[in-house]
Chain A
């Protein structure tokens, strides 16, 4: 059953193992045929597109059309979604404020940096039952007066900061200075 196939395979192998002689002019003839094909230009489409894009054209535009295009650009520029978002000014640095107020229910940080608005910067307890209150604010270079407002009625100066010298309003204030170097 298997003998004839083996004989066939043996003959095929013998044919395949027979040395083949190649004409010495084969290479030259193949290259001549290849040379007849049209040359393929790499990047030809891109070059054509570039030529199309850079070719000078004359555009006719009425003054009204020009104004309309300018207005469209202006509208796009003014209607950017980030226009009213706050960008950090150069030199802005974060400052941490800390005060100890054991019996306080609320503590606010108020000063030149938040229009002296007690609602703007409420301080946070450092822990659930902690008596330490903290707040962090970004400040640009300058000198700021500030104070802590405890329970909406008592003013405290910052014991860790220089005192404001001119307390015309009868309550203590402190000073923080933000430098640039």
Chain B
């Protein structure tokens, strides 16, 4: 009787392990939208990212974007592979505690040309989420602001600025650029203005002081 129960227990454990492994290796059903050439390659990239503890959802979304836009297989694979590499670099720059949305935003910033050291410095100076600072950095570069100017601007504000302050800062820069200001000058002017606003806001928020 004891042997019987032991064998039954071993069988159940083995079945559970096999089922769990099979479930873990089952490709994301959303990847069915990819063609038969692209799907296994993307699935392998997603599995590799998962094994490296990187977020896989951005990779799936990038592949689905390509499929919806009817991109060729090689373009989709190249995009997903590039994003996976960027996510790995982002993890290296931000450290193991970075959240998946932070890593996604950091990958976009790296792709835009932001130095990895800037990301690491951002992590050091800002305790709040880095999603918006990284997004603002990326958007500024996309607006034509030189990477060095954009990075310096975001770093100077990141420690104390709220997300809304940073978004307003980005809007101010884009507005000035649209009005004809050189991107670097627009950024410098907006930083000065935003710093005043942020400091004023910090003073107002401080409790128990006039």
Contacts and interface: CB of A to CB of B under 8 A. Distances in A.
Contacts of A171: 69
A112 B61 contact: yes
A180 B105 contact: no
Contacts, number: 101
Interface string A99-118: 00000000000101001111
B191 to A, nearest CB: 18
A143 to B, nearest CB: 5
A170 B69 contact: yes
Contact of A141 (B69, B112, B131): B131
B167 interface: yes
B79 interface: yes
B43 to A, nearest CB: 16
B110 to A, nearest CB: 11
Given A162-B143, A177-B132, A143 B105 contact: yes
Given A175-B135, A179-B131, A180-B128, A165 B104 contact: no
A169 interface: yes
B141 interface: yes
Given A165-B111, A179-B129, A181-B162, A116 B167 contact: no
Interface string A5-19: 000000000000000
A96 to B, nearest CB: 15
A150 to B, nearest CB: 13
Contact of B163 (A110, A162, A179): A179
A142 interface: yes
B108 interface: yes
Chain B's interface size range is 35 or more
B140 to A, nearest CB: 9
By CB atoms of chain B within 10 A, which of A143, A155, A171 has the most? A143
A171 B136 CA distance: 22
Contacts of B61: 112, 115-116, 145
A178 B174 CA distance: 18
A30 B66 CA distance: 99
A92 to B, nearest CB: 13
Given A115-B30, A155-B69, A165-B138, A142 B75 contact: no
B78 interface: yes
A165 B108 contact: yes
Interface in B67-117: 67-69, 71, 75-76, 78-79, 82, 101, 104-105, 108, 111-112
A168 B30 contact: no
A116 B105 contact: no
B139 interface: yes
Interface in B46-72: 58, 60-61, 64-69, 71
28 contacts: A112-B58, A112-B61, A112-B65, A117-B68, A141-B129, A141-B131, A142-B101, A143-B134, A143-B135, A162-B139, A162-B174, A163-B142, A165-B111, A165-B138, A165-B141, A166-B82, A168-B71, A168-B82, A169-B71, A169-B75, A169-B76, A170-B69, A170-B71, A175-B135, A177-B135, A178-B131, A181-B163, A181-B164
Interface of A: 110, 112, 115-118, 140-143, 145, 149, 155, 162-166, 168-171, 173, 175, 177-181
Interface of B: 30, 58, 60-61, 64-69, 71, 75-76, 78-79, 82, 101, 104-105, 108, 111-112, 128-129, 131-132, 134-136, 138-139, 141-143, 162-164, 166-167, 170, 174
Given A169-B66, A177-B167, 9 more contacts: A112-B61, A115-B61, A117-B64, A143-B101, A149-B68, A162-B138, A165-B142, A180-B128, A180-B163
